[in-house]
Structure 1
Amino acid sequence: MTTNFPEPTRVPVNGVELEVFEAGREHAGNPVVLCHGWPEHAFSWRHQVPALAAAGYHVIVPNQRGYGNSSRPAEVTGYDIAHLSGDLVALLDHYGYDNATFIGHDWGAAVVWGLALLHPGRVSRVINLSLPYLERGERPWIESMAETLGGDFYFVHFNRQPGVAEAVFEENTSRFLRNLYRTEVPPATREPQPGNALIDLARMENPPGEPVMSDSELAVFVAAFASTGFTSSINWYRNLDRNWHLLAGVDPIVRQPTLMIYGDRDPVARSGRLTDFVPHATVVSLDCGHWIQQEKPAETNRAILTWLARQHAA
């Protein structure tokens, strides 16, 4: 790692091993678990780990299954919400915690939402970045996306054409990640275009916007995906409809106190009905794109720590 990011340990959980980075162990009893998105890594929380530890939290940051040096099961169904949330429950068991505050970004936020629904007693507070609560609806998510957004939309493409996108990403790993982790992207370039936008991005010579991170920081992500490839992480997408079925009959209301952090220039759509499903949600917006905690680390830390302090004082 290129900073004083913690050294990892490997923790056996739920039939796999997770690579876990930990800080603030002296604050045992006050746990916060940070859950990264795609195509990310625990290192995406490098700006939040020291701030949370300094504020008195025991910070636990796994590379979730399929990422980094964590296990990569071969079966696609090994990446459904039951397995992903089960890993986090087992991680709490490993550290001896009944519950914790969970913070998620992007796909990590999706897992935290699912964890709060499937194991509500293990989640004391929710803080999610970028990805709002996703209503279950009457039809499976990929089926619905295919009809409304078309077969080239990357969620649908990952499911309907397995192996195609990851082959392109693996052939262009450094370029793909360099092109993806951008900020200050002009609004026009965020509009949907024909074809698979991520495949096009992986081949693009001159991407719009500015780099989110330094070359040395980006190298951590590039090295991780050069080692693992992309199939295991994309398998998370291939379980969306399975997750839809797994959540049938589950109480859809997230009852924990929740902080939702949006980026004003994030192409991910906001929820128009967040408080219908997350009645105790507080919403904060920051002037940034999708990579919120990396684009605006100080502002993200301030929002998280201020909200947590109010929760403790309540």
Structure 2
Amino acid sequence: MTTLPDIPLPAGIRSRYVDGINGLRMHVLEAGFETKGRPCILLLHGFPELAFSWRKVMPALAAAGYHVLAPDQRGYGRTTGWTADYDGDLAPFSLPNLVRDALALVSAFGYRQVDLAGHDFGSPVAAWCALIRPDVFRSVTLMSAPFGGAPSLPFNTVDAPAQPAAEDPVHRELAALPRPRIHYHWYYSTRGANDDMRHAPQGVHDFLRAYYHQKSADWIDNKPYPMKSWAADELAKLPTYYVMDLGETMAETVAKEMPSPAAIAANTWLPDSDLAYYSAEYRRTGFQGGLQWYRYVTSGMLNSEMQLFSGRSIDVPSCFISGKQDWGTYQRPGVFEAMQGRGCTKMLGCHLVDGGPLGAAGAARRSQPAAAEVSRRRRSGLRRRHRLVTRH
């Protein structure tokens, strides 16, 4: 077995492997493990991220009294037992199976109930964990990606004429714009996306540097606002890391916004020494494991499978944290608003953090000031949850 290099972790965090997690050998970062009997919080990363993305949040949560678990999720990093075959079965990367991964992990650690937080693509996984198993996932913090609820089933259609399955026309309309575009989910679902990034002309390290920079509050053009509709002319207003120029790769897209050497040297929330771990891992594994999640979404499997929960909502105490400069809050029109209504029935608050790297959730999750913010919101939410429980 190849020996992997040590992970540059802060004091108080250890790396370990747990076998037998829904068919995986799961790599987990752990904090607050010294004292038995602590409540557990599970942290789920997004794309293109790793468990390492939570390294600055974990000590703050451990200091708040938690046993903190952050896994490399299925398809990522040092977790093994999955295949990166583009033509392989997508079922292992389905949301129900990702929920099984989370459930199996906390069960292996001996927990019947845990608190939960997810960022980016980890946010919908966390949301579905809380919706499907509220008995286990007793509270949820969603970051960057809001959750609008379960997909609806056709209703009261007995006497209506049969309708063919509707195709979303927005993708054809995006391609037909005077400046042709493609939504990044659909680009990520193409056969070439993995190689485009793994073999980026600028190298994986500089690709990730530009990608993280453009999605952070350090990029001055991140000035999000609610989108009016899911229509091509409206979606075309999104930054090119979300709605790309058709024919360009993601590596080409973000290369245009590569920060200067001076800006990189001055970066405190993601110094090159930390970025080197991400780039080494993605050079080793490629990106296809994470891209399979997007392929599951664009295949239509998500809607058809999760209609099983039509009409259900997240009924455990919930909160949402993002950045005022994070487009993730608004990239899907209406979802942020739906989350605060039918999506989450015990929404304790939505917190959009401003300023510096704190202004975008991806950067915020990697920054020390944001660690304190997440911990503070979590403690406040737990106190409010206690009041809700005792009141009922």
Which TM-score applies when normalising by structure 1? Answer: 0.89
| Residues 321 and 361 in structure 2, CA contact (< 8 A), matched pair in contact too | no
**Residue of structure 2 aligned with 1:132, choices 117, 125, 146:** 146
Judge which range, 83-92 or 139-148, deviates more: 139-148
User: 1:225 aligns to what?
Assistant: 282
The aligned counterpart of 1:286 is 353
Q: Does residue 175 of the first structure (1) align with residue 212 of the second (2)?
A: no
Shift, 1:254, TM fit:
0.5
Given the alignment, which residue of 271, 275, 293 partners 1:236?
Answer: 293
Letter in 1 for 2:295: R
Unaligned runs of 5+ in 1: none
Matched-pair contact (CA < 8 Å) for 2:58–2:371: no
Residues 114-155 of structure 1 deviation map (CA, whole Å, 9 limit, x = unaligned) = 112222222100011110004435799995763565572110
Mapped contact 1:67–1:228 kept (Cα < 8 A): yes
> By percentage of residues, which structure has more helix?
1
The 3 A distance-change label for structure 1 pair 94 and 262 is: same
Q: In the alignment, which residue of structure 1 is the partner of 2:125?
A: 111
Amino acid of the residue matched to residue 286 of structure 1?
Answer: V
Distance in 2 between residues matched to 1:23 and 1:5, nearest whole Å: 6
Identity %: 26
**Distance of 2:81 and 2:174 partners within structure 1:** 30
2:308 aligns to what SS in structure 1?
coil
Q: Which amino acid aligns with 2:360?
A: G
1:39/1:147 CA distance change after superposition, 3 Å: same
Unaligned runs of 5+ in 2: 1-6, 155-164, 176-180, 224-237, 331-335
Distance 2:60 2:167 in 1: 38
Q: How does 1:1-314 map to 2 (within 5 A)?
A: 1-2=7-8, 3-4=10-11, 6-12=13-19, 13-25=21-33, 26-74=35-83, 75=88, 76-135=90-149, 136=151, 143=168, 146=171, 150=175, 152-159=182-189, 161-162=190-191, 164-171=192-199, 172-182=203-213, 183=216, 184-187=218-221, 191-192=239-240, 194-195=245-246, 196=248, 198-204=250-256, 206-207=258-259, 211=267, 212-240=269-297, 241-250=300-309, 251-270=311-330, 271-274=336-339, 275-281=341-347, 282-287=349-354, 288-291=359-362, 292-295=364-367, 296-312=370-386
My pick for the range that moved more, 167-176 or 67-76, is: 67-76
Superposed CA offset, 1:174-205 (max 9, x none): 11111112232122696345235733235447
Change (3 A) 1:138 1:311: closer
Paired AA for residue 168 in structure 1? D
Q: CA deviation at 1:302?
A: 2.5
- Give the deviation of 1:30 after TM superposition: 0.5
Paired residue total:
312
Q: Secondary structure, in 3 states, of the residue corresponding to 2:328?
A: coil
Query: Helix, strand or coil for the counterpart of 1:235?
Result: helix
